[in-house]
Structure 1
């Protein structure tokens, strides 16, 4: 029987802070789970559990050496709701802040799709290499049967 290795989605990656990645070249968000109105200390919020891979600089993208956070929570309202239909999939984005429409309200963070094919191809290359390394590790694992 072949080994079907899967990750258990856990929230050990902290919380997504858009301000820290606002200047990133590319953000690969792999959505593991969506929880509608998850209880939090600040009241119920829509929450997404993701693996977030951030290419902060063009050099990181060129070297295919991103910062990876497995099991990160995204609870900003607009960001979380936009990922509700992506569970089990991934998006390649950046984040931007848009002005508030009501006086006194905070500006909202939103996703921006990456349309540059060069960036998309480099991130796809990274993901392919990462997945190939995982497959190779599973293949090399001892068989205890």
Structure 2
């Protein structure tokens, strides 16, 4: 009976440890984002929000492309990261539909959080999602 509990702890540690370290946390205020993603790379920004907080995103591919843009929560991001690393096979990504767009040259939206949550703004130049853009080279993304 003890083996499943140990396995659950190990799986949880694998899911949480590597992906959290890869995130860049954004605090309150305006942040300029400029990132170049090589084929097969992604960038993720942790955005802790309280109920009633507003997130305003305006990002554009300024070179290369297209790319994928997602707003998801920390749990879904950890599953995505574990899947990308090969430690978990999970081909789908939970994301907020109106605040995400695949295979595009940019995204603009405002998101009002109804609950306190740790959200992740994910920019993707990988072939990891089924409907996402196929990487064709480096992609530079800039915006706020």
Taking structure 1 as the reference length, the TM-score comes to: 0.23
More relative contact order, 1 or 2 (CA 8 Å, 6+ apart)? 2
Looking at secondary structure, tell me which structure has more strand per residue: 2
Q: Which has the larger radius of gyration?
A: 1
